[in-house]
Chain A
Amino acid sequence: MRGSAPELAEYKLYRQGDEARRIDWKLLARSDRAYIRLAPERATLATTILVDSSASMAFPESGNSKWDFARRVAIGLAAVAHRGGDPVGITLPSDGGNRYLPPRTRRGVVAEIAGLVSGAQAGGEQSLSPFIAVAHATPRLAIVSDFLDDLEGVLRPVRAHVAAGGEVHLIHVVAMEELEPPHRSMVAVDPENTALQRTFAEAVRIEYQTAFREWREGLARMALQAGAFYTLALTSEPADRVVRRVVTAPGAATRPIG
């Protein structure tokens, strides 16, 4: 989504929720596709990065945790958006006190974001959905999470945000240890719900992996249906590659983030 102005800069495919008055009718007549005109003076999009800091993000306890990976991705996204001239801010929900930095374009905002995320720790059971709803004023919202929270609670404000003309990116962080649990029997405990305990053994490995894969596919499908962009981010890959994949997501804005 880009703003419209007399001085045309770029076009973007029209989709439901866009203002009909910004459709370039001539271009529609020529190409049989509806495009919206974007004006360069309004091509900047305020971006808020919402990073999930719930207890499930602190997995695995040793090594490259999802939380560490999510922080690197968040800083990368902030840097890319800032370089593109977009105001960028961050929200870190936490049981011990939320951390919030509103979108800014000033120099040094990326460093502020880096300092903010560096001082935060993953833990607690803070839900993301209230923060998504609050961030509706931000045109672009990037959510970095494992989405093991109440998924429907997350997607509902996402749909509303998209319907209101916003752009939402879901960066789904998955640890390799979740894809391929260790080859030994164990009692698996959900860190956000310790009452949930399941015994994992080789006999149920395939069953587990199938269920997890189907859930991820369902999440991606629901995200797309909600009009959001979905990016799967494995902790085993470099964070900058994930950032690049996010900003070049097919179907995203004609001019990528930043």
Chain B
Amino acid sequence: MTFLAPLWFAAATALSAVVVALHLFARRRPQTHMLPTARFIPPHSAQATTRTVRPTDLLLLLLRVLLLLAVGAALAKPMFTASREPRAGIVLADVSRATQGLDALTRRVAAVRRPGDLVIPFDSAPRAVLQEGVAPAGLSRAQGSLSVGLIAAFEASRALGERADSIELTIVSALREEEIDRATIAIRALWPGRITIERLDGIPSQAAAPRVGIRSDPSDPLAAAVRLLPRGGAREVRVVRGELSSADSAWAADSGRVLVYWPTRPAMSVTRPDTATGLIGGGDAVVVAPFMRSSRPPDGRVVARWSDGAAAATELATGAGCVRHVAVVLPVAGDLTLRADFLRLLHELLAPCGGTVLSSLANDSLVNQLRGAGPLADGRAFPAPLDHGRTIAPWLLAFALLIALGEPFVRRQGARK
């Protein structure tokens, strides 16, 4: 047991010593008794006080000392601390969109995890700590933040630091640039030791131009626009201007594929001409032109809107990929599809599913900066949590209250003797 505020207990001990001294050595007036022969007592002691050097009322003294010590101990915040182990571990498992596959992450986490280690999944926020033998439930499409993971590691270390001399922090992640910001480096600098980096194989950057295939008439103005886009990326995009087939849907179900269904002809029942209407993409692309609205796209994630807020294009997830429905009728005449603003809009409509554009993997210099050098973090470097479940302060206060209630009774009993 240790005290978080030992000065209180020291003060109570000193006060107890004073109480004992006063009890044993204080000069006091003795009790009054009838004695018919009192006249034979020498008169010079008539008003004298006596000094009690013999220990009397020991029970009362004991109660008073216990009362002081109990209150002092309670205020000193006694804590029961478990026996310290040489090492404790924290594993930060990156379940954000930056991780390529759940299996690879689970295998790597299981490989680095030791018995008793805490596994904290994180993406844009920390998840619940995984119990022993439990693997991460799945990956998310959220952008990861290593800063968030490091802060979660700090919180966990406050509890681990009480029972471990050293804390080993392991990060299992692909470590993309998007997960590391300036705060990450500053937070990393606060970690008092080296960090083990278990780097996963990352998905290649999706910021590169996709490989787009379009099924349309040769005179389709959109086909001309697609040809103007950069080419050669690994990501596959298919644009269908005609009817959508089941083969197309099956194709889109594969991981990372995007199927863009952009009918050439509008549904006549809902088509209405706009002399000049703005079409706003999910990013910063805005195109103003005499578009013609087609039928409403199905409900899904909106990837482009009309200037009045109505959905112009939506995205529906299909397997590991997605299908985008674009309800915009392009004018056959004119050079609209060749303009730069339209090409930016087209680029957004061909973006990866979920609108994610993964950044590049962090370079080795940055990873080494995160890894650091030197010994593992010292467990004592982390402040213990203030509210501790194993404190006995309430019990000590209750004990002190019990003594305080019993002290007058014992005092009266002693006075009657």
| Closest B residue, CB atoms, query A174 | B37
Within 180-222 of A, Cβ neighbours of B (below 8 Å) are at 181-182, 184-192, 196-201, 203-204, 207-208, 211-212, 215
Instruction: For A199, list chain B residues within 8 Å (CB).
Output: 30, 41, 45-50
Contact A200–B36 (Cβ < 8 Å)? no
**A148 touches which one: B29, B36, B46 (CB < 8 A)?**
B36
| Closest B residue, CB atoms, query A54 | B36
Contact A189–B41 (Cβ < 8 Å)? no
**A200 touches which one: B41, B47, B49, B52 (CB < 8 A)?**
B41
Q: In the complex, A65→B182 CA distance in Å?
A: 96
Within 14-58 of B, Cβ neighbours of A (below 8 Å) are at 29-43, 45-50, 52
Contact A198–B41 (Cβ < 8 Å)? yes
Contact A59–B35 (Cβ < 8 Å)? yes
| Closest A residue, CB atoms, query B37 | A178
Q: In the complex, A78→B239 CA distance in Å?
A: 141
Q: How many Å from the CB of A214 to the closest CB on chain B? A: 9
Contact A178–B41 (Cβ < 8 Å)? no
**B40 touches which one: A61, A146, A184, A208 (CB < 8 A)?**
A208
Contact B40–A197 (Cβ < 8 Å)? no
Q: In the complex, A148→B35 CA distance in Å?
A: 11
Contact A200–B35 (Cβ < 8 Å)? yes
Tell me, yes or no, whether A56 is within 8 Å of chain B by CB.
yes
Contact B42–A212 (Cβ < 8 Å)? no
Contact B35–A181 (Cβ < 8 Å)? yes
Instruction: For A201, list chain B residues within 8 Å (CB).
Output: 30, 45, 48, 50
In this complex, the member of A56, A66, A185, A197 whose beta carbon has the largest number of chain B beta carbons within 10 angstroms is A185
Contact B36–A187 (Cβ < 8 Å)? no
Instruction: For B46, list chain A residues within 8 Å (CB).
Output: 197-199
Contact B39–A187 (Cβ < 8 Å)? no
Q: How many Å from the CB of B244 to the closest CB on chain A? A: 110
In this complex, the member of A148, A188, A212 whose beta carbon has the largest number of chain B beta carbons within 10 angstroms is A188
Contact A196–B45 (Cβ < 8 Å)? no
Q: In the complex, A136→B41 CA distance in Å?
A: 36
Contact A215–B50 (Cβ < 8 Å)? no
Instruction: For A190, list chain B residues within 8 Å (CB).
Output: 34-36, 38-39
Contact B33–A186 (Cβ < 8 Å)? yes
Q: How many Å from the CB of A3 to the closest CB on chain B? A: 40
Binding site secondary structure of chain B: loop
| Closest B residue, CB atoms, query A66 | B36
Q: Given A197-B46, A199-B46, A199-B50, do A208 and B41 touch, yes or no (CB 8 Å)?
A: yes
Q: In the complex, A67→B36 CA distance in Å?
A: 13
Q: How many Å from the CB of B161 to the closest CB on chain A? A: 58
Q: In the complex, A56→B50 CA distance in Å?
A: 26
Q: In the complex, A66→B42 CA distance in Å?
A: 24
Q: In the complex, A196→B34 CA distance in Å?
A: 10
Q: In the complex, A177→B33 CA distance in Å?
A: 12
Instruction: For B41, list chain A residues within 8 Å (CB).
Output: 188, 198-200, 204, 207-208, 211
Within 144-181 of A, Cβ neighbours of B (below 8 Å) are at 146, 148, 175, 177-178, 181
Q: In the complex, A148→B48 CA distance in Å?
A: 25
Instruction: For B38, list chain A residues within 8 Å (CB).
Output: 188-190, 196-198, 200
Q: How many Å from the CB of B46 to the closest CB on chain A? A: 5
Q: In the complex, A146→B38 CA distance in Å?
A: 13
Q: Given A199-B47, A199-B50, A201-B50, do A188 and B42 touch, yes or no (CB 8 Å)?
A: no
Within 98-139 of B, Cβ neighbours of A (below 8 Å) are at none
Q: How many Å from the CB of B348 to the closest CB on chain A? A: 101
Within 207-265 of B, Cβ neighbours of A (below 8 Å) are at none
Q: Given A185-B50, A187-B29, do A198 and B43 touch, yes or no (CB 8 Å)?
A: yes
Contact A187–B42 (Cβ < 8 Å)? no
Instruction: For B39, list chain A residues within 8 Å (CB).
Output: 148, 190, 196, 198
Contact B29–A212 (Cβ < 8 Å)? no
| Closest B residue, CB atoms, query A209 | B40
Q: Given A185-B50, A187-B30, do A204 and B35 touch, yes or no (CB 8 Å)?
A: no
Contact B35–A207 (Cβ < 8 Å)? no
Q: How many Å from the CB of B196 to the closest CB on chain A? A: 75
Q: How many Å from the CB of B36 to the closest CB on chain A? A: 4
Q: How many Å from the CB of B31 to the closest CB on chain A? A: 6
Contact B34–A189 (Cβ < 8 Å)? yes
Q: In the complex, A185→B33 CA distance in Å?
A: 10
Q: How many Å from the CB of B55 to the closest CB on chain A? A: 13
| A–B complex contacts, Cβ < 8 Å, 8 sampled | A56-B36, A182-B33, A186-B32, A188-B33, A188-B38, A191-B34, A198-B45, A199-B47
Residues of chain B having any CB pair with chain A under 8 Å: 29-43, 45-50, 52
8 interchain residue pairs of minimum CB distance = A56-B36, A198-B41, A188-B35, A188-B38, A185-B30, A211-B40, A185-B50, A212-B40
Q: Beyond the given A55-B36, A188-B38, could you list 10 further A-B residue pairs with CB under 8 A, ordered by the A residue number?
A: A178-B36, A184-B30, A187-B31, A188-B41, A189-B33, A189-B35, A196-B38, A198-B43, A199-B46, A201-B50
Residues of chain A having any CB pair with chain B under 8 Å: 55-56, 59, 61, 66, 146, 148, 175, 177-178, 181-182, 184-192, 196-201, 203-204, 207-208, 211-212, 215
